Structure 1
Amino acid sequence: MGGFWIRIAPTGCVYGSVHEESVGALAEDAHKEFTPKVADRRREAAEGWRLELVGRDEWRRRAEPCFTGRCNHASYQGRAVTDVQLPEAAS
């Protein structure tokens, strides 16, 4: 043990990471960590989301650029973060 599970969108962009020791050696267990509801896991699998177990060097090469905004992947529709206007606090 000692690797990292990475959650990869259909575009190839990494949207999550968890240490193998936290969830175990099975992809199904890692997927449950990221996506608790079984219906959502099935939908993601059908959409092309995948999980891979990688070592530290591979994590740095593939996941770190995505987490720091330095990757060249297209954002995944429905998963992209968008800014929203918050209501002003009452004075």
Structure 2
Amino acid sequence: MKGFWIRIAPDGCVHGSVHEEYVGPLAEDAHKEFTPRVADRRKEAAAGWQHQLVNGADWDRRAKPCLTGRCNHTALGRRVKDVPLPEVAS
């Protein structure tokens, strides 16, 4: 399968993506790509971060909304609420 590795936060929000051809066929390879330090990878794994291989259709369904800011995930401050700016007198 030639697909995409997606990096999934504990809340289910996708925080990154990379082509399988670039990093390799193993989830460990993908995790190393996103998080080079072993200690950091261990912390992330314990916290629930995941790396999954998906095809193009699954990427569009699962990753694209998150990576374009259109998902409904709220943890980790991903969603930003618009606030009106005060008018400036000229």
Tell me the TM-score normalised to structure 1 length. Answer: 0.82
Task: Report if aligned partners of 1:10, 1:76 keep a CA contact under 8 Å in 2.
Answer: no
CA distance in 2, matches of 1:49, 1:61: 19
Tell me the TM-score normalised to structure 2 length. Answer: 0.82
Which is helix-richer, 1 or 2?
2
Unaligned runs of 5+ in 1: 81-91
Q: Summarize the alignment of residues 68-83 of structure 1 with structure 2, pairs less than 5 Å apart.
A: 68-76=68-76
**2:12 — aligned with what?**
12
Q: Summarize the alignment of residues 2-81 of structure 1 with structure 2, pairs less than 5 Å apart.
A: 2-76=2-76
CA distance in 2, matches of 1:44, 1:52: 14
CA distance in 1, matches of 2:45, 2:76: 14
Report the alpha carbon displacement of residue 74 of structure 1 after superposing the two structures with TM.
1.6
| Stretches of 4+ aligned residues off by more than 6 angstroms | none
Unaligned runs of 5+ in 2: 80-90
Task: Report if aligned partners of 1:5, 1:18 keep a CA contact under 8 Å in 2.
Answer: yes
**Who wins on radius of gyration, i.e. which is larger?**
2
